[in-house]
Amino acid sequence: MAPTNTEVTVPGPLAQPHRFGVYTGIAIESQSADAIPATAKLGLEPPRFCGQCGRRMVVQVRPDGWRARCSRHGDIDSVELYQR
């Protein structure tokens, strides 16, 4: 019997489509438009919640950007998204 590749691809914390708001942690279908903070709308705030599971992420803000880590879905860096 030939071995099978059972590798599972886990989506990143900001991969589309989001199931949860990355600034609120609320399920997308329950989130109102005014729930997103104004600073986040302006691009001044890093995402604080994982878009896949809604868990609070560990976020480190640096002078040149930010880095966020979800315990289930991995890391994302603002450099990867071309955001500051």
- pLDDT per position as a tens digit, 30-54: 988 888 999 998 988 999 999 999 9
pTM exceeds cut of 0.85? no
Predicted confidence at residue 84, as pLDDT, reads 46
pLDDT at 82 over 80: no
Predicted confidence at residue 50, as pLDDT, reads 95
- Whole-angstrom CA distances from 51 to 11, 28, 62, 64, 69 are 10, 9, 22, 23, 12
Predicted confidence at residue 3, as pLDDT, reads 57
Predicted confidence at residue 11, as pLDDT, reads 86
- Per the CB < 8 A criterion, the answer to whether 77 and 46 are in contact is no
The one-letter code for the residue type at 29 is E
